[in-house]
A and B are shown apart, each in its own frame.
Chain A
Amino acid sequence: MSIDITLTVNGVSHPLAVDPHASLLHTVRDQVGLTGSKEGCDDSECGACMMLIDGRPVNACSYLAVQADGAEVTTVEGLADGNDLTPLQRAFLEKGGVQCGFCTPGMLISATALLRDHPRPTEDQIRIALSGNLCRCTGYDGIVAAVAAAAEQG
């Protein structure tokens, strides 16, 4: 049985028919066609799929799309304002927070959620908030520095 839902993704509303067991991640990638959010594990361990649902960070690989019916979903594609990168995105590039980039979408989402709740986080708060996002390339140093730098800029 398919269920009719409406997903508002990055401000655009999408009426969709989804399987009750479909994950939010597959729905956004395959039906909405936004592939910025990645699948690194499918069981909430890596954070590459992180999205915001009504502002809450969520492992979209393990969240039922039907539960997001009517909610505001934000993916990495929704962060920049048109062609203008956010200070956080720029800081990721300037501080060496991006290598292969596969963790980057999820990292940016987690960091966005952190900075909204804690505009001036300590280094430990940054590290704790990013612990659900695994990065194999950067050793986290550049990422933590980028979040701190973005917080500096306000």
Chain B
Amino acid sequence: MSTYVEARDVAAAVAAMADGARPVAGGTDLVVGARHGKAPLPESIVGIHRIPGLDGISVADGVVRIGALTSHAAILSSPELASATAGLLDASAIVGSHATRANGTLGGNVMNASPAMDTGAPLLCHDASVVLTGPGGTRRVGLAELWTGPGKTSASPDELMEAVELPLPPEGAGSAYVRLQYRRQMEIAVVGAAAYVEVSDGAVSAARVAITALTPVICRVPGSEEALVGRRLGSNDSVSGENPAVWTQTTEIGDAIHAAGQAAAAAATPISDVRASAGYRTAMAAVVTRRAVTAALTRATGGSVTVPASDWSER
């Protein structure tokens, strides 16, 4: 006998979850997954979609906080996020369709823990953590510790995710997310990659790279990061970022971008399915990684990369 209650605050949601209810926010994963026959709908469900205060974006004390119920559409129209976490916008802009984006939430995307989720890689690159509240209180968990397998998290079933938090990036930082897409909308990432870079004094001072749909959980690629850190961007002409193509030539940074791509391909352990063969996915891992890094560097150096970077990189 299935049941449903709607929670009006966090405490009520946590109480229902402690009683065995699964939270539903936008339902675009939970309900659609059941329709696909992936997993039947849980018998007991608690609606969290109207809990006040669980949505919204704020920046304070060097921390960007995005409420769990923030929709992809809201992420897209946030000027704060546009400058701080462009890579997240790249992801939210291509989630499903306009309806998916209007209803799908960041909390649902992250907690669903799909290896193909689009916001995962950029959030990981932004060193994000989630704020989890359970009967025992509130804790913060980094994404790398949160995701434990396809569809699995280390959150306990009675922990509600309240928000995603990430450090406000410094000047000279840039991020981007690029996925391989057969159609421009209504896709599932065949493969994807995100990059976050900080550029100072004409060189890459920090780099984080993560890959999507290439490993059982979205993960960072240390080899790609090492390939980038310390590399000089080259002459002033190319640092302008207006013409990132020069970076793919045999410049120092061009080599580094290429190496970052190779490292991502080496880290990939993809599957073959009806969407792509493992061999193609591996080759594409290098391509999307190069493109994500290029877009992130372009943004970090003041160049313009339109959202979503996936479309931009096809131009």
Known: A57-B99, A132-B98. A20 touches B27 (CB 8 A): no
Contact code string A62-86 (vs B, CB < 8 Å = 1, else 0): 1110110100000000000000000
Cβ of B28: which chain A residues have Cβ within 8 Å of it? 44, 59, 62
User: How far is A50 from B96 in the complex, measured between Cα atoms in Å?
Assistant: 14
Counting residue pairs across A and B whose Cβ atoms lie within 8 Å, the total is 88
Shortest CB–CB separation between residue A50 and chain B, in angstroms?
6
A132–B186 contact, CB under 8 A? Answer: yes
Task: List A residues 1-57 near B (Cβ within 8 Å).
Answer: 1, 3, 19-21, 23, 42-45, 47, 50, 56-57
Cβ of A56: which chain B residues have Cβ within 8 Å of it? 99, 102-103
A135 interface residue per 8 A CB criterion: no
Shortest CB–CB separation between residue B220 and chain A, in angstroms?
31
User: How far is A69 from B28 in the complex, measured between Cα atoms in Å?
Assistant: 17
Cβ of A1: which chain B residues have Cβ within 8 Å of it? 1-3
B47–A44 contact, CB under 8 A? Answer: no
B249 interface residue per 8 A CB criterion: no
B6 interface residue per 8 A CB criterion: yes
Cβ of A62: which chain B residues have Cβ within 8 Å of it? 27-28, 31-32, 35
Shortest CB–CB separation between residue A55 and chain B, in angstroms?
9
B78 interface residue per 8 A CB criterion: no
Shortest CB–CB separation between residue A31 and chain B, in angstroms?
16
A108 interface residue per 8 A CB criterion: no
Known: A43-B36, A64-B45. A131 touches B97 (CB 8 A): yes
A132–B35 contact, CB under 8 A? Answer: no
A20–B3 contact, CB under 8 A? Answer: yes
The 19 sampled A-B contact pairs (Cβ below 8 Å) are A20-B2, A21-B41, A43-B32, A44-B28, A44-B96, A50-B99, A56-B102, A58-B99, A59-B103, A62-B31, A62-B32, A64-B47, A66-B47, A67-B49, A110-B99, A113-B102, A128-B98, A131-B98, A132-B99
Q: Which residues of B contact A (CB under 8 A)?
A: 1-4, 6, 24, 27-28, 31-32, 35-36, 41, 45, 47, 49, 96-100, 102-103, 183-186
